[in-house]
Amino acid sequence: MGGPILLMARESWGPVTLTLHNVLPQPHFVAGVDNDADFAAELAATTVPFTMLQEEDVFVLGHTDEIAAATDSIEEMITTLGDLWRVEQDFSGQSGWSTPHMFFFDLRVEGGGAHSGNPAYLSHTWELSTTNPFWQTSFLGKWGFLHEAGHSFSNPGTLLYLDKYAYISWREGEPNLLNMVAVDTVFGAGSHQQWSGRSDAERQATREAFVCNCLASGGCDATDFGTADVVDFAMSIADDPAIGWDGLSAAYHAFVEPGTDQQAHIDAVAETLSAQLDRDFGPYMTAYQLPVTPSVLATLDATYPTDWEANPLEGLVCP
């Protein structure tokens, strides 16, 4: 057994002296510097159980045997993770944590546990349901990677980050939305549908069941949303071909958190979406059980004479 010793220390703490014995060189691949063939030989020769992969924005520690067994290019794997990471960053308009962002895969985290942070600890429980390149299903688990990366771009002040404590499903849902954006952008439009529960048909069924249950019980509010509802609320907007991920991203970039309370945040979401996309989003938010303050609804209605035409809840008839 053995592994790297990673030290994170402040310069102000003063000099640190370490003396290590019996140290072995750690396999360490740097995109744009190392090449696959030489690295494969290095992996074949090492007995060190953990291997580092690095590119501009992402730094990954994984099991050497898993990485050595990968049939895809290491250069391509680590660069793709960086590309996915950068999509989330660009879409959200958030800078995220300092880079290279570090991800430590499946070292001590078991049973689906995962945690964001710097370094981030990830397991690879969550996978794409149907695609099967080796590195997606056996090695990296993009769901964990992209969810945890999403946390660095989802903070108080972002569009759907309603509150750290009262609305945990929003805090956890927004990173999943960023995940959807990233896979669609990097792997092609509609790639998100490969995840269980994320196909258009499944989302529609979930959406309608949620709203109909709410209506049957006298109405819901933001606290009733599950993570799937949070993701679908935003994805449904991007589903409109006139809006797309770019249109939703524009709303992210334009959003200014009011800094007062949750209702003000929800009102600001309605105002930002409407202003950015030049349509009244009040009826959509009302239909999706996200109550907007009546005076704000009235202002939006007067300002934008056209409602959002693609509202997927328009004309919903509950059983």
> What residues make contact with Zn ion under the rule CB under 5 A?
172
The distance of closest approach from Cβ of residue 89 to Zn ion in the complex, given in angstroms and rounded to an integer, is 17
Measured distance CA(255)–CA(284) in Å, rounded: 18
84's CB contacts (< 8 A; 6+ apart) are 142, 145, 146, 149, 182, 183, 186
Measured distance CA(80)–CA(186) in Å, rounded: 8
User: In the block, which residue shows the tokens 């995940």?
Assistant: 179
The distance of closest approach from Cβ of residue 114 to Zn ion in the complex, given in angstroms and rounded to an integer, is 7
The distance of closest approach from Cβ of residue 73 to Zn ion in the complex, given in angstroms and rounded to an integer, is 29
The distance of closest approach from Cβ of residue 181 to Zn ion in the complex, given in angstroms and rounded to an integer, is 16
Q: Cβ closer to Zn ion: 161 or 281?
A: 161
Q: Where are the alpha helices (DSSP H) in the chain?
A: 36-45, 64-69, 74-92, 134, 142-151, 168-187, 200-216, 227-239, 244-254, 262-277, 282-287, 294-303
Q: Cβ closer to Zn ion: 172 or 301?
A: 172
Size (the chain), residues: 319
Q: Which residue is at the shortest CB distance from Zn ion?
A: 172
Assess contact for 237 and 273: CB atoms under 8 A.
yes
Assess contact for 252 and 91: CB atoms under 8 A.
yes
Q: Cβ closer to Zn ion: 172 or 257?
A: 172
The distance of closest approach from Cβ of residue 147 to Zn ion in the complex, given in angstroms and rounded to an integer, is 6
Q: Cβ closer to Zn ion: 235 or 268?
A: 235
Q: Cβ closer to Zn ion: 28 or 115?
A: 115
